[in-house]
Structure 1
């Protein structure tokens, strides 16, 4: 019975580590895509179709994020709508320069967006590295216990 518990403990650790690695990969891909859009993306003049504020709050602390719905047309005539986060206040009808990749114009970004990584992805990365290490430690402990019980 103890060996089976060790195997289950080890598998749970591997799942934790796999989940941590998956989130790390997802975050790295998002950061890479953002940098590529800002570096290589085509430029378009988008019109502000809608503007709204999203409030996030947890444990009494709140954070607001200004979002815009932008509309523009690609050179091939395709109408595109993109929801973007903006640090600059805009009103409906404003012209906002955007950058986008031709294969995914709906992921456009304001042309003046910061190209740095930001603290969010760095914090997520650090937490996921810690999460992965804990998962690997739990897996090694579980599998080691199971092997020693045999």
Structure 2
């Protein structure tokens, strides 16, 4: 029975990693599409706050940025990059007209190496977990 519980745990962990990875990839693709095809807008930092760190780490700065769409709607977006911003700073924003709520700050540095490394590690973990689950299920028979 312990082997069955192990197989179930590994299978669930593997599927969870795959779901999280798929969501991260989808978000990354949407961000890249927004940066390449999105409409430009001028944003302004309205509010800056710091999310406290844990285990002795410094907190991460976040900012709320307002901008107007071409049709005049006022939208808000969060900057979770940790870049130093001050209230009143002007920042470039890009957004897709059909999804202005998913606007992206256009001055963010690309994080491609980190995203690729995280994706490879996550995929490896998911494959290992799903393989362990399959092997455990085969042994049960």
TM-score range, shorter chain: 0.7 to 0.9
Q: Is the 8 A contact 2:91 2:107 kept in 1?
A: no
Which has the greater radius of gyration?
1
Q: Distance between the aligned counterparts of 2:77 and 2:121, measured in 1? A: 30
Match of 1:46 in 2: 43
CA apart distance, 1:76: 1.5
Q: Distance between the aligned counterparts of 1:106 and 1:27, measured in 2? A: 18
C-alpha RMSD of the superposition: 2.3
Structure 2 counterpart of 1:19, from 13, 16, 19? 16
Which protein is richer in strand relative to its size? 1
Q: Say yes or no: does 1:132 pair with 2:131.
A: no
CA apart distance, 1:80: 0.5
More RCO (CA 8 Å, sep 6+)? 1
- How many aligned residue pairs are there? 141
CA apart distance, 1:48: 1.6
Q: Distance between the aligned counterparts of 2:50 and 2:7, measured in 1? A: 45
Residue ranges of structure 2 left out of the alignment (5+ in a row): none
Q: Say yes or no: does 1:99 pair with 2:94.
A: yes
Match of 1:70 in 2: 65
Q: Distance between the aligned counterparts of 1:122 and 1:64, measured in 2? A: 25
Three-state SS of the structure 1 residue aligned to 2:52 is: strand
- TM-score, normalised with respect to structure 1: 0.77
CA apart distance, 1:6: 4.8
Deviations 1:50-70 (A, max 9, x none): 122333223x3x144332211
Q: Is the 8 A contact 2:15 2:130 kept in 1?
A: no
